């Protein structure tokens, strides 16, 4: 299995080299034929420049937290014995889901960084209910996000409570529903990692932790890049002029901002400041925007697909989206 995994990675590397060589030859040929200035003018187009700005912002913002989550993941793997998590963490689905939802208060990681950390917690014996609830709730229910939301809405602090409450309900519900799953049904095969890590078992513990962090970072990083590119394309293509008129209808505004939250894929530490600019929308729609993005943003969907098995990822995404929109619509109809 490890040999197959390694040969697959080598094939991908060869394809990157071939594509890179072809691109270099193409640019060389364009330069010799005098076509390069025209291509450079294309790169100066407003939408192309906006795409590069948005993509760079997402990558710079996300990679920092992805690296933080990977480092925490490596530390947990090496320095936290499996027995501690197995004995101290609740085993039943409901208390495990509640505990997992509040674990972000101790590990305040953004939505990009908590995926490798969740994966490591599962491998360390944390119940699936607790790991899934942590995966969804940690980006929202943590001190940094809570404080940033309060600062973004200084006149309406209730929005921060509503956001925290919605995230808690969604995370607990999903944790309980998926609590019957086994870790082997969720995580992708990691036999290659186990063989690779075995060769570093004699190294100092800090080196082992950094090795695990490196593996988790590059494992999830490639999917994050794909998601960031997709999210950037959507942000450039979505027209902003129609948002004001759609914000007058509570149901449509909730659906629209929920979709935009998924499309924009903003970091949960800063998305409240973007949500505060949607002045034409009701508060419930803003809460949905700030909940959907950190849980099922486009960049995260790629990460889910790369970290967890496809069947579980699809079910998780559909369930989270359904619960968020139902809670948002119920709150909106009730007067949000």
pTM for the whole thing? 0.71
List the one residue out of 325, 316, 333 whose CA is nearest residue 292.
325
Specify if 16 maps to a domain: no
* Inter-residue contact 165 to 288 (CB < 8 Å): no
Specify if 177 maps to a domain: yes
Specify if 51 maps to a domain: no
Q: Is residue 326 pLDDT above 50, yes or no?
A: yes
SS3 state at 187: strand
Specify if 119 maps to a domain: yes
List the one residue out of 256, 259, 263 whose CA is nearest residue 298.
263
Res. 48 pLDDT band, cuts 50 70 90:
confident
Q: What is the mean pLDDT of residues 220-245?
A: 65
Specify if 161 maps to a domain: yes
Q: In which residue are the tokens 């570093």 written?
A: 200
pLDDT of residue 95: 94
* Inter-residue contact 228 to 299 (CB < 8 Å): yes
State how many domains the chain has. 1
- Chain centroid offset of residue 76 CA: 20
**φ and ψ at 187, to 5 degrees?**
-80, 145
Q: Which domain holds residue 259?
A: 64-333
Specify if 47 maps to a domain: no
List the one residue out of 280, 277, 276, 275 whose CA is nearest residue 245.
280
Specify if 2 maps to a domain: no
pLDDT in tens, 133-160: 999 998 899 887 888 888 888 878 799 9
Res. 57 pLDDT band, cuts 50 70 90:
confident
Specify if 17 maps to a domain: no
Distance from C-alpha of 114 to C-alpha of 72, rounded to nearest angstrom: 9
């Amino acid at each position: 299995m490890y040999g197959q995994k390694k040969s697959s990675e080598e094939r991908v590397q060869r394809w990157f080299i071939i594509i890179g060589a072809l691109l270099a030859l193409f640019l060389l040929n364009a330069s010799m034929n005098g076509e390069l200035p025209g291509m450079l003018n294309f790169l100066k187009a407003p939408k192309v420049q906006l795409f590069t700005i948005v993509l760079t912002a997402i990558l710079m913002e996300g990679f920092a937290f992805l690296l933080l989550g990977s480092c925490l993941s490596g530390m947990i793997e090496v320095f936290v014995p499996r027995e501690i998590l197995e004995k101290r963490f609740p085993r039943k689905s409901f208390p495990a889901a509640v505990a997992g939802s509040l674990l972000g208060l101790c590990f305040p990681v953004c939505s990009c960084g908590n995926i490798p950390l969740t994966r490591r917690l599962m491998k360390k014996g944390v119940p699936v209910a607790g790991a899934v609830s942590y995966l969804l709730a940690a980006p929202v229910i943590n001190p940094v996000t809570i404080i940033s939301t309060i600062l973004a809405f200084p006149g309406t602090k209730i929005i921060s409570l509503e956001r925290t409450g919605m995230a808690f309900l969604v995370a607990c519900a999903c944790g309980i529903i998926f609590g019957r799953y086994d870790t082997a049904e969720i995580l992708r095969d990691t036999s290659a990692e186990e063989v690779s890590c075995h060769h570093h078992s004699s190294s100092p513990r800090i080196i082992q932790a950094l090795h695990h962090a490196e593996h988790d970072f590059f494992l999830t990083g490639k999917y994050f890049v794909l998601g960031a590119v997709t999210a950037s394309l959507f942000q450039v293509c979505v027209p902003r002029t129609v948002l004001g008129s759609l914000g007058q209808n509570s149901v449509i505004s909730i659906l629209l901002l929920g979709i935009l939250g998924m499309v924009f894929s903003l970091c949960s530490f800063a998305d409240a400041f973007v949500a505060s600019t949607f002045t034409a929308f009701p508060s419930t729609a803003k809460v949905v925007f700030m909940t959907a993005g950190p849980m099922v943003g486009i960049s995260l969907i790629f990460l889910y697909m790369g970290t967890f098995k496809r069947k579980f990822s699809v079910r998780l995404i559909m369930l989270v989206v359904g619960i968020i929109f139902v809670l948002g619509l119920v709150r909106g109809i009730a007067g949000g």
